[in-house]
Structure 1
Amino acid sequence: MSVKANIRKLYAIRFFYNLIPAYVIERLFWEQRGMTIQMVVYTEIIFAVTVVLLEVPTGIIADKWGRKKMIVLSTILEGFMFLILLFATEFWQFAVAVFLAGIARSASSGSENALLYDSLLETGQERTFEKYLGRLNVCDFSAIILAALSGSYLASRYAFELNYWISVVSMIVSVCVSLLLVEPVIKSKSDESIKIKEYLTVSLHFFRKHPSVCLVLLSGMVTGAAISFIDEFWQLYLNRLEIPVLYFGLFSAVIMIVRLPGNILAHAIKKRFRYRTILSGVTTAFAIGLFYVSMIKDYTSLLAIFFICLISGIIEPITTGYLHHRIDSSMRATMDSFQSLGLNAVLIILGLGFGYFSSKYDVFGGFGFIAVICTLFLGCFFISSKQLFD
């Protein structure tokens, strides 16, 4: 089988990996099982710590022994995670499920992007990486939209458990498709194979030599963490506004749909605007939008959430593409893993603050804290980027 087919298979894997109707009622399901906001934040921290500890090792394994194997492992673990959640009633059971999800995330994050880039590289299309990564994200969002609409309808008529069983089936399909992937040939700029113990040293040396890469990735980490809190806690936000669960699917669909233009057009936006302009503009939009969401507790705040999600669509293709165009294939999964490691490190730090302010001022206070962080980072970005990009 040809590596050209890998892109279509990655589309299918992404689609079924995200065709998860459980997500639309996840926080309500967890709350129903006794999980408070503080406990949910603790599981988020467990997830982030797991990813931080395993992200680079799994990236090294992917580069040395195959990206396909790690993608297959990821889909299998995600399936087990949903099975555990189906029967979870205690905090430790949720923690175990989230721990497996953390392993799954660390196994797939660098591996998938590396396999995509090297598949394009083998066919001479590597410059189109942002375009295809954006399309992969469109598959994500399309599946999430479908799952949200169907999941909210099912949740309004049947027990929440049905959504989880459907999610298990979707993950089984994802496992089957991932087994059909073809490992592309790694085209390294160096003829010498890097020893496992040297991966960390070489990676850190690269980041020290390329401070602009560090700043671009840090921008993606801060905004990526911010959008993660919206994705994780919008259900509670709508619940506080007394919006019926029947409309949760529609809301979830909208916040996914508005991200599509950014992902589709990211490669074109990159050609028309400088990185400093793009990243500072996105961070500014996040800060303003999150302040509004935290302070204005009515339906108009939903428009602010839609605006944040609209702007967020361009971030991943832009930041990930900036990295991949500057690294060697022999370490592609490892270097990409550092990006995910950093994101989850930021999530751990911000998660503590989000949990504290949510416990004091409900979910509104948590979003206010994230708005302050975005504002502080924006000031730092303006100062640092002027030296690196001007």
Structure 2
Amino acid sequence: MKNMDNIWKLYAIRFFHSLVPAYVIERLFWEQRGMTIQMVVYTEIIYAITIVLLEVPTGIIADNWSRKKMMVLSAVLWCYMFLILLFATEFWHFSAAIFLAGIARSATSGSENALLYDSLRLSGKEQFFEKVLGRLNVFDFASAIIAALCGSLLASRFDFELNYWISLVSMLVSLCLSLMLVEPSVKSNTDEPIEIKEYIRASLLFFRKNRGVSLLLLSGMVTGASLSFIYEFWQLYLERLDIPVVYFGLFSAAFMLLGLPGNMLAHAMKGWFSYRTLLSGVTAVIAAGFIYISLVKDYTGLAAIFLIGLFAGVIEPITTGYLHHRIDSSMRATMDSFQSLGENAVLMIIGLGFGFFSSRFDIFGGYGFIAFICSVFFVYFVFASKKVVE
């Protein structure tokens, strides 16, 4: 029963972790403090490099030490990040804050999913992992929608700093909830525990032997990294269309609301369609959406962004569930960390191109580069997945 109590605690943690009104005006706040698009991309690369370097080590630590303690550490670092941003005025201030965010993200990425899966597994309910993960994302989105609506109203009436103070308080609540989690005892299918030095070797061997898993995760990495540039830069896109900041919250809420159906129905959709059909279709829509918003510089581009959000909601529950149903609990956080590591490595590579083209052709040129990447990957996935993904 204590293990199942972790579920509602994780729901609450996700809710308060996403109750961040600062995000709705983040790019404007940074721009107000002197941060250009190129400088923001540099911080994104710092974030990605930090995750690439720390994802697997933090996953190993979580598997051997404690998933709960890693989540608590993550919550503490998020609090420090917002505190730094409140007083940031130089590039290195923002870089330091994002560096802490990278450590925080690394500490929790594999730990949260591992703690969730093993909490369900110890109660004999691991088959509901995609369903619960989808609901976690629903709490995530619902909270973010509330934060976006309130944040845009607050930003239109008060200084942007108020949004950051409220966000800091929300992170403190998330920290308190993290302290209430119960560490589930790990059940391993192996006869002996894997030594730390064998974790990376065993993980790489698993991915080498399971090409279908690797390709499916790669699709999630490319699409997930591409979506990050909508989440990070949609405010500048709206500003280029001369949309007042008071409407930013409505846009953010609508975009996240459209992601709910995919998250809620992901567990059912894997029974309606094959993994290959499902991810091929989602990748095609995302590629087409990026092509449109890069070429058409008017309000109809918002519809394309909404379409991307509608189809993208299914990606995380499907790809993460596909992985977790096929790995051993003794390495669950480590293997999940490899997924996040890969996505951020892709994010770093795409970020270089995005920053280059954005600096020359504004935000539309950056999205054009992402459209090219997604289109090329769609063609690759269709042919590569024929025999290895059911």
CA deviation digits over 1:109-134, x for unaligned, max 9?
00000000000000000011000000
Aligned to 1:313: 313
Aligned equivalents of 1:160 and 1:389: distance in 2? 47
Q: Could you list the runs of 5+ residues in structure 2 that have no partner in the other structure?
A: none
CA deviation digits over 1:232-282, x for unaligned, max 9?
000000000000000000000000000000000000000110000001000
Aligned to 1:386: 386
CA deviation digits over 1:7-32, x for unaligned, max 9?
00000000000100000000000000
1:360 CA drift (Å): 0.7
Q: Could you list the runs of 5+ residues in structure 1 that have no partner in the other structure?
A: none
Aligned to 1:375: 375
Aligned to 2:145: 145
Aligned to 1:22: 22
Aligned to 1:214: 214
The amino acid that maps onto 2:117 is Y
Aligned to 1:227: 227
1:226 CA drift (Å): 1.0
Aligned to 1:56: 56
1:383 CA drift (Å): 1.2
Aligned equivalents of 2:387 and 2:272: distance in 1? 21
CA deviation digits over 1:335-356, x for unaligned, max 9?
0000000000000000000000
2:357 is aligned with 1:357: yes
2:263 is aligned with 1:263: yes
Aligned equivalents of 2:268 and 2:345: distance in 1? 30
1:63 CA drift (Å): 0.2
CA deviation digits over 1:88-107, x for unaligned, max 9?
00000000000000000000
Aligned equivalents of 2:139 and 2:67: distance in 1? 20
2:162 is aligned with 1:162: yes
Aligned equivalents of 1:15 and 1:191: distance in 2? 38
Aligned to 2:34: 34
1:369 CA drift (Å): 0.4
The amino acid that maps onto 2:288 is I
2:102 is aligned with 1:112: no
Aligned equivalents of 2:147 and 2:23: distance in 1? 8
1:4 CA drift (Å): 1.0
Contact 2:216 2:389 in 1 (8 A): no
The amino acid that maps onto 1:273 is F
Aligned equivalents of 2:194 and 2:288: distance in 1? 45
2:125 is aligned with 1:125: yes
TM-score (norm 2): 0.99
Aligned equivalents of 2:389 and 2:143: distance in 1? 37
How is 1:183-222 mapped onto 2 (pairs within 5 angstroms)?
A: 183-222=183-222
Aligned equivalents of 2:285 and 2:383: distance in 1? 18
Aligned equivalents of 1:389 and 1:150: distance in 2? 43
Aligned equivalents of 2:386 and 2:191: distance in 1? 37
Aligned equivalents of 2:154 and 2:59: distance in 1? 38
The amino acid that maps onto 2:96 is V
1:382 CA drift (Å): 1.1
Q: How many residues get paired?
A: 390
Aligned equivalents of 2:72 and 2:255: distance in 1? 29
CA deviation digits over 1:290-340, x for unaligned, max 9?
100001111111000000000000000000000000000000000000000
The amino acid that maps onto 1:228 is S
CA deviation digits over 1:210-240, x for unaligned, max 9?
0000000000001001111000000000000
Aligned equivalents of 2:315 and 2:379: distance in 1? 19
1:193 CA drift (Å): 1.1
Contact 2:50 2:103 in 1 (8 A): yes
The amino acid that maps onto 2:212 is S
How is 1:296-335 mapped onto 2 (pairs within 5 angstroms)?
A: 296-335=296-335
1:389 CA drift (Å): 2.9
CA deviation digits over 1:170-193, x for unaligned, max 9?
000000000000011111001211
Aligned equivalents of 1:389 and 1:153: distance in 2? 46
The amino acid that maps onto 1:353 is G
2:175 is aligned with 1:175: yes
Aligned to 2:282: 282
The amino acid that maps onto 1:92 is W
1:387 CA drift (Å): 2.2
